[in-house]
Amino acid sequence: MPEKSITLEVFRYLPEQSDEPKYQKYDVPYREDWVVLDALNYIKDHIDGSLSYRWSCRMGVCGSCGMMVNGEPRLTCAAFLRDFYPQPIRVEPLTNFPVIRDLIINLEDFLHKLKEVKAWLIPKQEKPVSEGEYLQSPKELATYKQFSMCINCMLCYAACPVYGLEPKFLGPAAIALGQRYNLDSRDGGKEERTDIIASSEGIWECTFIGECSRVCPKHVDPAAAIQRAKVQSTQEWWMSLLLPKGAK
């Protein structure tokens, strides 16, 4: 019995050789338990060593292998061939990002935004290590836990219609991670972060379409984080009218 196979149509782009991207077709063995990443690895090892893409953990936690799979942002280590077979699968780099080569995008912009939004704990009250841990109840933990699950895979940016039009927009993951700290009972940096988030280009254009939350492989729900940020800064704006800063 001949081995079953499946066709991948892969986006190829190598700017040092040509300005024009192209699509290349590869036939790879079809296996029930294979994911798109396994198929890419098969191509790399056995058909075309020049195909370039990022991957590492192959268990959905390192966030390296996000790509467009038939037009949808997906982690390729979690996109099974069986969900597409026998139709061909089109694999492209994540949209809304500059492409370095083949399936590899440039995500430097996100790294800057993560820093801009101060995605780290700004302690409400400094406490020396010798005095032990900050207390945090399971309920307080639950308040921000969901937003801490972001793996920085960039699928939400690829899905975000606002980021596509306004690259200055902080974007779903960076806002979710800012909120992750804003909601942490140990944190006292909410005010600085809220100012940064509210003044971010694009946040007011985000109309809660929720594409970011739909594609998030870790159910972080960045759309909820953005919504919350808008409500927060609106409240603060009203408060600032009612209570000028010095009066607090």
Of 70, 148, 227, 232, the residue at the interface with another protein (CB under 8 A) is: 148
| Total Cβ atoms within 10 A of residue 83 | 12
- Residues with Cβ within 8 Å of 130's Cβ and at least 6 positions away in sequence, in order, are none
Q: Cβ of residue 104: shortest distance to another protein, in angstroms?
A: 6
Does residue 187 belong to the site contacting another protein (CB under 8 A)? yes
Q: Are 181 and 122 in contact (CB under 8 A)?
A: yes
Does residue 232 belong to the site contacting another protein (CB under 8 A)? no
- Provide the pairing of β-strand 89-92 with 5-12: parallel
Tell me the one-letter amino acid at 235.
Q
Does residue 123 belong to the site contacting another protein (CB under 8 A)? yes
Nearest to 103 by CA among 34, 154, 30: 154
Does residue 55 belong to the site contacting another protein (CB under 8 A)? yes
Of 5, 145, 208, 234, the residue at the interface with another protein (CB under 8 A) is: 145
Tell me the C-alpha to C-alpha distance, in Å, between residue 178 and each of 47, 66, 182, 217, 247. 43, 22, 6, 19, 26
Does residue 54 belong to the site contacting another protein (CB under 8 A)? yes
Q: Cβ of residue 183: shortest distance to another protein, in angstroms?
A: 11
**Binding positions for another protein, rule: CB under 8 A:** 14-17, 31-34, 44-46, 48-50, 52-64, 78, 100-102, 104, 107, 111, 114-115, 118-121, 123, 127, 129-130, 132-138, 140-141, 144-145, 148-152, 177, 181, 184, 186-187
